[in-house]
Structure 1
Amino acid sequence: MVIEVLLAHHHPPTRAALAALLGAEPDLEVVGAYGDGARAHAMAERLLPDVLVTDLRLPGVSGVELTRRLAARPGIRTVVLADSALPELALEALGAGARGLLCQDTDTGELPRALRLVAGGGALVSPRLTRPLIDACLRSPGIPDVPLLDSLTERERQVLSLVGTGLSNQEIADRLVVAETTAKTHVRRAMVKLGVRSRTQLVAIAYRSGVLRPRVRA
């Protein structure tokens, strides 16, 4: 199966390099590459690609807003190229519905792998962005107070801990010996009860509440 990809990046040389990189992959087809958010949105609505790759500095319609608009489109998944120095903006993109979050300077092999994963229904955050995102979550006023954990069932607390360690729904299901759909339901219920919109915010709650503690290197 060929995965159709639409690119949106404000920097022309980078946009051209990404198009060349992805175009060299036999299972990826770049159907368009644009430098502003409004044009990218219009073409995404017209072409209905499998995956949109966007940066966050698009003129006009921002990368976050573009992600938000396309999140309502079934079948179009968004991978965002983010700057680790701007974790709050990356966090907004996750809240807007991004399915993948990679560093701007991601290596040439990571991006194609990420697109295949996201096109297949998966999600990922680059390990290099995890710590900045957690720190941004902890600073965010959108993170609820710890006492709200009292609303969680024991199983939902277990799931919160496992999400905090970076496990996917399938990995959580394997750990708890339940179906993936059951694990997904527990994650969704925990998010609803805690009033958050992303797994990254769940991670932040896990650390803030003491369910997880950051590892300290000697």
Structure 2
Amino acid sequence: MTVRLVIADDQAMIRAGLRLVAETAPGIDVVGEAADGREALDVVRRLRPDVLLMDVAMPRLDGLGAARRLLADPRPPKIVMLTTFGTDRNLHAALRAGVNGFLLKTSPPELLAEAVRVAATGDALIDPAVTMRVIASFAGGPAPVERPELDALTRRERQVLNLLARGLSNPEIAGALGLGEATVRTHVARVLQKLGVRDRVQAVVFAYEAGVVRPGQGERPCGGG
């Protein structure tokens, strides 16, 4: 399957670089570009791409505002957000809005292509460095929210959720727990189902809000057998 991609960034050189990376990756077809959030709305609604790769900080309408509007449409694209350490103040809000990924502009090209493909399948990918920003955004924040859904997780599923929240990929989780990747995929699917979340990104947000992982702390006691 070829993934139809639109790229939105206010810097022409960045758009050109992203296009080059995307078009050299198998199975990705760049069908349009936008220079700001308002143009992204028009281009996406006209071309109906599978995935929108969009910068957070843009003029006229920023990436977060554009994402919220597009995700309210009847047939929204999957959205992968791009950020730098200086422009990610809306990271948590974007994750809660339902985007399908978050990458740094310094992420390696192969991670960008993977994020686009993963988003097209309905799953999500967060750059591990961005996950560290998620952790930081919860430091000094409100107390964890009690979530009874955690009680439905087995001990192994809690371990998987903990590692998901720390930004590990399925192969990395498999290595950490001594499991096969197919088994990890099954555990991840069960975690998402039991928590009632759509994808890995939402599972990460859930984990931090529920206090499964907190900055400087390990996993809380398991709530399942």
Shorter-chain TM-score range? 0.7 to 0.9
Structure 2 residue 97 is matched with structure 1 residue 91? no
Identity %: 25
Structure 2 residue 111 is matched with structure 1 residue 103? no
Contact kept in structure 1, 2:212 and 2:219, CA below 8 Å = yes
Residue 58 of structure 1 aligns to a residue in which SS?
coil
Structure 2: 5+ residue stretches without partners? 175-180, 221-225
- Residue 104 of structure 1, CA deviation: 1.1
1:129-208 correspondence to structure 2 within 5 Å: 129-141=130-142, 144-145=144-145, 148-149=146-147, 151-152=148-149, 154-156=151-153, 158=155, 159-166=157-164, 174=183, 180=189, 182-188=190-196, 198-204=202-208, 205-208=211-214
Give me the whole-angstrom Cα distance separating, in 2, the residues matched to 1:112 and 1:175.
22
1:59-78 correspondence to structure 2 within 5 Å: 59-73=59-73, 74=75, 76-78=77-79
TM-score by length of structure 1 reads: 0.77
Give me the whole-angstrom Cα distance separating, in 2, the residues matched to 1:7 and 1:160.
36
- Residue 20 of structure 1, CA deviation: 2.2
Give me the whole-angstrom Cα distance separating, in 1, the residues matched to 2:67 and 2:35.
15
Contact kept in structure 2, 1:91 and 1:137, CA below 8 Å = no
Residue 69 of structure 2 aligns to a residue in which SS?
helix
Structure 1: 5+ residue stretches without partners? 192-196, 214-218
Per-residue displacement from partner, 1:13-34 (whole Å, max 9, x unpaired)?
A: 1111112222233421111111
What RMSD, in angstroms, separates the aligned Cα atoms of the two structures? Answer: 3.2
TM-score by length of structure 2 reads: 0.75
Structure 1 equivalent of residue 223 of structure 2: none
Residue 129 of structure 1 aligns to a residue in which SS?
helix
Count matched residues: 202
Residue 98 of structure 1 aligns to a residue in which SS?
coil
- Residue 87 of structure 1, CA deviation: 4.5
Structure 2 equivalent of residue 212 of structure 1: 219
* Higher-RCO chain (CA-CA 8 Å, sequence separation at least 6): 2
